[in-house]
Amino acid sequence: MTPFRIDIPQSDLDDLSDRLARTRWPRSLPGTGWSRGVPVDYLRELTQHWASGYDWRAHEARLNDLPQFVTEIDGLDVHLLQQWMSGGVDHHALLRAAPQTFSYTWNDSPVGLLAWMMQKFKEFTMTVPTPEQAIDRDHLLTNVSLYWFTGTSGTSSWPMYERLTVANDGGFAWPTGQRRVPSGVYGGGSALMRRLAERDNTIVHWPQGNPGSHFVAMDEPLAHAADIRAFFKGLQ
């Protein structure tokens, strides 16, 4: 593995600012709130913050405080960051159908990418009216910015496409053959789910009632870190 630091060229930042300023906004569809997708007024205001209030260099520096590496797996460069961080629109169905098609918008339009990401954050932070009430606004924009500057919004879907469409079993499955490795989860489910998990795994950590949504490492980082410590403490 090779040590790595993030260093986005200033020309990429200037290009992003120019694209955001030239956004061709659609008209609002009938309906209220998020019933038809990300509201135009909401996204316009968030885009304005991305363009003039958000400081990428500050967040780039924070990310570079963390150990990072690049390695090659199956001929592809993989970036590793040592940090615990992922109803509605069927993301799996879209990527199963045509991941390359959607990547054109995500890779060419920063607002197109932002709209898609905020749609997903909204769906998975269902306990609050807007995503930034669960996750800091600049944290959300750092996540989107990383996809934008690295041009990986499309390629990030490749593993899912391979798993859902190309693999022989055509879907996800419980991991098997891991009994020698103690396993734990952040949010334990029903007794039935635990029995299913225990068929092929040695479950030693199955807490109930931990806070957070799908993106628990982003919206509940302290609780998530505490639970990870509790898991490893139980193995001592």
pLDDT tens digits, residue range 100-124?
788 888 999 999 999 999 999 998 8
Residues 209/201, Cβ–Cβ less than 8 Å:
no
pLDDT score of 19 more than 70: yes
pLDDT of residue 86: 43
Any residues with CB less than 8 A from the CB of 18 and at least 6 apart, and which? none
**In whole angstroms, how far apart are CA 13 and each of 21, 38, 136, 225, 235?**
12, 25, 21, 32, 45
Q: How confident is the model at residue 144 (pLDDT cuts 50, 70, 90)?
A: very high
E strand segments, the chain:
2-3, 68-73, 76-81, 178-184, 201-205
Distance (Å, whole) CA 165 – CA 47: 34
Please count the residues of the chain: 236
- Classify residue 157 by its DSSP letter: G
- The per-residue pLDDT for 101 is 80
Per residue in 85-99, pLDDT (tens digit) is 445 666 667 766 777
Question: What's phi and psi for 100, nearest 5 deg?
Answer: -65, -40
CA 3 from chain center: how many Å?
Answer: 23
Average model confidence (pLDDT) across the chain: 86
Question: In degrees, to the nearest 5, what angle opens at C-alpha 70 toward C-alphas 112 and 51?
Answer: 30
Six token digits for residue 145: 């910015």
DSSP 186: S
pLDDT tens-digit map of 169-187: 666 666 667 788 899 999 8
Residue 181 to residue 183: CA distance in whole angstroms: 6
Sign of the torsion formed by the C-alpha atoms of 224, 153, 52 and 12: positive
